[in-house]
Structure 1
Amino acid sequence: MSELLPATGWPPGFTAAPVLLLVDDEPNVLSALRRLLRPSGYQLHLAGSGAEALELLSREPVDLIVSDMRMPGLSGAELLAQARARWPDTLRILLTGYAEVSSAIAAINEGGIYRYIAKPWNDEELLKTLQQALELRGLQAEKQRLEALTAHQNAALRELNATLEDKVRIRTEELRIANQEISLAMEKLRKTFFTSVQVLSNLIEMRAPALAGHSRRVADVARKLAEKMGLGADLQHEILLAGLLHDIGKIGYPDALFGTPLTRMNSDELGIARKHPINGAAALMSMPDMRGVADIIRSHHERWDGQGFPDALTGEKIPLGARILALANDYDGAQLGTLSAKRMTPEEAKQWVIEGRKFRYDPDVVDAFGQLIGKLPRQTIIERRLSGAELEAGMVLSRDLHSPDGMLLLATEYVLDDLLIRQIRDFEESFGRRLVVCVRV
């Protein structure tokens, strides 16, 4: 038998009326307990025997069992011991007479009984005991709820962490691939830009085959000087580009002027020659990233003593890159015969440059040049001389490759690929003769 009494306030931890099972073989005792507990709002189940109580427990969840000790058949102690084994979360209270105290103590130990209450009971003490028992049951239920919630949240957190780790790993890989693609694109752009610079540099050599390789050699010496002097990577790069493009202002020269040394030019020709640094710088001024290069080109014919052109700058008023480029340009030009009618040997050109210390060139640049020239490696290069038909991808040029009329096609150290090899063969077909391509062994 069970009944649900009106609620007057449940113990903490309960979201519904606590469920009590009252067990006694005496109906008058059950009636007395029901009357006492009616105002508390508990849901009550009544059982007249231990067997009936076990049958009810198997069907209904119960928070607290209050059982008499002495009952026919299954005693209260035996009932509560079985309840402990089968429904350990249910609290257990034993009603016992004074003569049964020793048996009650044994039942407490065996059945894990929360408390025993002596008969006849004091109503106030009984209600207080039940309230305390239900508060403990509520705390246990809340503890179980929180443990279950914590376990659920921990599982969700582990799943979230695993998901986040997967997302981070995937995103990291995506970023790595994106950065790799950007790096490849930047490298391709850099190579394309540098190739464009070399094409511009080659335009002069198409006009003057005798100057073949001049710009590249000047750029190489100038860059090595900048490195020797400990200049930053950005300035070294600007000096390299300026070396490749320093004669771009000569694109409008009359044909006859290309082969005329400065010492043999008349006043009109000198006037044209003195403008080529200005014209070269002007050609680059529309490119913001090339303005430093343009400044170097404009001033690469200035002299340390102020006797240069176009602005007659002196000493450190001349950009450092231009001071370096001036020396590298004259060193190669002296060997080509563009400075005087006599072409100098490398040793003569070196000595001529060193003698220009303090009036033509920056003394610090000359000193670095003297150290550099003495340390330039002289390597014996083993090479093969091949035609276009014999070339293979991956071969490295050991010398500059020129067209039959002296135009620079590819510079030393260029690595050949299938596209370049096809272009070389196309050139051979266009020229009607085989090119001699020198490659490293």
Structure 2
Amino acid sequence: MAEKILLVDDEPNVLDGYRRTLGREFTLETAVGGQEALALMEKAPYAVVVSDMRMPGMDGVQLLSRVKTQSPDTIRVMLTGHADMETAINAINEGSIFRFLNKPVTKDMMAKTLTSALVQYRLVTAEKQLLEQTLSGALQVLTEVLSLVNPAAFSRAARARRYIHHVVTSMKLGNPWQYEVAAMLSQLGCVTLAPETIDAVYKGDTLSPEEQAQYDSHPNVAYQLLSKIPRLEPIAWMIRHQNRAVSQSENTELPDIRKGAEVLRLVLEYEQATHQGASRTEAAHTLARQNSEMGPEFFAALVALDPNAEEGQVKRCSIDELYAGMIIQQDVQTNGGSLLVSTGQEVTPTVISKLKNFHARGSIDGYVKVSSAKSTLSFVKAASS
């Protein structure tokens, strides 16, 4: 599909002239004034917006500043018959103008400007797409590594993600993908811990001082890994503070991130309590008594989620019948008792290869319990957008 260009002027005859002279070379749409332009942008994106400077109601600087906020990737061009230094400075500073053209503009000059603007738009969007694909791939690798190295930790992270997804959806919190990614990567630092330590923690057993110190350090391990990845710095901060309450004086310049850390902490504590046998209501009431910052809506959302509601139909199938996207519904252990794949883990090509290898060696049975529940890795696409 050809990229669309929006031309904005308060004089319809000027817009008609643009359509006649440039309509065959470019995909053009026109708007009479800034308000009409913004209304059109609500319906569909534009690669380039060209606006006249002097318009009643909303001038070109105001319009292109709004365009920048509403559609940052759109390339912005300003036309004016009143070229003065102050106007140019305001247009560049407030609207991040790509080109500033003095009227009258010849057909050739306008065509060259539009062509250059489209090239710039393609460069910006191509780089953005590459970054998004890189981030998406990095998140998938990290979560899959966790699922292979420490299935129990991955299973806990997957359960926490389901709780957080329900909470942020119910409460309509902004940037929900950040909360979900934080939950899914919250146990990443557990790759440094012995499986026995993880099992003891999840069962509620008492740890030795050395084991407790090791476990307490896992959020910081994850922070050190994730803070090096662009766009994940806020998530790394949330994860770093998952084991303690965050005071309102901390990170006050980013209150949403501080709130995210508190949501993650409470969800993980709730997951731990219910996993160890507490009822949903009992676990939520205990946390509510200990926490004055999160309102009753948060705890009501936790209680409302049935952790088994998303399981779908559970069936027993052979390893050869597995396909990506299924969810493991029963721990897969070797004949010697080692955990290979944990309940709640998503089946991926790597998981299938792992199970086939162990089955070929006679270390596991050839059947597993699975369901077709929603993928635990589906949050990755939203994270990169």
The TM-score, its normalising length taken from structure 2, stands at 0.51
State the distance in 1 between where 2:288 and 2:366 align.
Answer: 46
State the distance in 1 between where 2:325 and 2:345 align.
Answer: 8
Superposition RMSD in Å: 4.5
Output aligned runs, 1:360-375, within 5 Å: 361-364=291-294, 367-374=297-304
Query: What residue is the counterpart of 1:218 in the other structure?
Result: 160
Q: How many residues align?
A: 255
SS of the residue aligned with 1:300?
A: coil
Output aligned runs, 1:233-272, within 5 Å: 233=175, 236-261=176-201, 264-272=206-214
Cα gap change, 1:373 to 1:335, in 2 (>3 Å): closer
AA partner of residue 300 (structure 2): G
Query: What residue is the counterpart of 1:322 in the other structure?
Result: 261
Contact 1:300 1:322 in 2 (8 A): yes
SS of the residue aligned with 1:223?
A: helix
Contact 1:204 1:248 in 2 (8 A): no
State the distance in 1 between where 2:139 and 2:340 align.
Answer: 18
State the distance in 2 between where 1:365 and 1:269 align.
Answer: 34
Q: Does 1:351 align with 2:282?
A: yes
Selected match of 1:390 from 296, 299, 321: 321
Query: What residue is the counterpart of 2:87 in the other structure?
Result: none
Q: Does 1:332 align with 2:276?
A: no
Cα gap change, 1:316 to 1:213, in 2 (>3 Å): farther
Query: What residue is the counterpart of 1:195 in the other structure?
Result: 140
Report deviation, 1:215.
0.8
State the distance in 2 between where 1:380 and 1:411 align.
Answer: 9
Cα gap change, 1:180 to 1:420, in 2 (>3 Å): farther
State the distance in 2 between where 1:433 and 1:408 align.
Answer: 13
State the distance in 2 between where 1:410 and 1:176 align.
Answer: 45
Contact 1:383 1:438 in 2 (8 A): yes
Contact 1:327 1:353 in 2 (8 A): no
Cα gap change, 1:400 to 1:380, in 2 (>3 Å): closer
AA partner of residue 168 (structure 1): F
Selected match of 2:241 from 272, 291, 299: 299
Cα gap change, 1:428 to 1:366, in 2 (>3 Å): farther
Larger CA Rg, structure 1 vs 2 = 1
Query: What residue is the counterpart of 1:285 in the other structure?
Result: 227
State the distance in 1 between where 2:305 and 2:369 align.
Answer: 29
Identity among equivalent positions (%) equals 14
State the distance in 1 between where 2:20 and 2:135 align.
Answer: 42
Report deviation, 1:280.
2.3
State the distance in 2 between where 1:434 and 1:380 align.
Answer: 22
Selected match of 1:436 from 360, 368, 376: 368
Query: What residue is the counterpart of 2:25 in the other structure?
Result: 167
Q: Does 1:406 align with 2:339?
A: yes
Q: Deviations over 1:389-414 (max 9, x none)?
A: 335x7x85254586434334896676
State the distance in 2 between where 1:229 and 1:255 align.
Answer: 35
Q: Which segments of 5 or more consecutive residues in structure 1 lack a partner in the other structure?
A: 1-159, 304-312, 337-342
Q: Which segments of 5 or more consecutive residues in structure 2 lack a partner in the other structure?
A: 1-18, 29-114, 252-257, 374-385
State the distance in 1 between where 2:228 and 2:211 align.
Answer: 28
The TM-score, its normalising length taken from structure 1, stands at 0.46
State the distance in 1 between where 2:145 and 2:156 align.
Answer: 13
Cα gap change, 1:212 to 1:189, in 2 (>3 Å): closer
Range with greater deviation from structure 2 (382-391 or 273-282): 382-391
Contact 1:280 1:294 in 2 (8 A): yes
State the distance in 2 between where 1:412 and 1:254 align.
Answer: 19
AA partner of residue 282 (structure 1): Q
Contact 1:388 1:437 in 2 (8 A): no
Report deviation, 1:358.
4.6
AA partner of residue 302 (structure 1): R
State the distance in 2 between where 1:179 and 1:383 align.
Answer: 45
Work out which structure has the larger RCO, using CA pairs closer than 8 Å and 6 or more positions apart in sequence.
Answer: 2
Contact 2:284 2:302 in 1 (8 A): no
AA partner of residue 353 (structure 1): A
SS of the residue aligned with 1:264?
A: coil
AA partner of residue 150 (structure 2): E
State the distance in 2 between where 1:436 and 1:203 align.
Answer: 16
State the distance in 2 between where 1:424 and 1:263 align.
Answer: 30
AA partner of residue 26 (structure 2): V
State the distance in 2 between where 1:254 and 1:398 align.
Answer: 25
Contact 1:243 1:325 in 2 (8 A): yes
Contact 1:353 1:366 in 2 (8 A): no
Q: Deviations over 1:52-88 (max 9, x none)?
A: xxxxxxxxxxxxxxxxxxxxxxxxxxxxxxxxxxxxx
Contact 2:274 2:283 in 1 (8 A): no
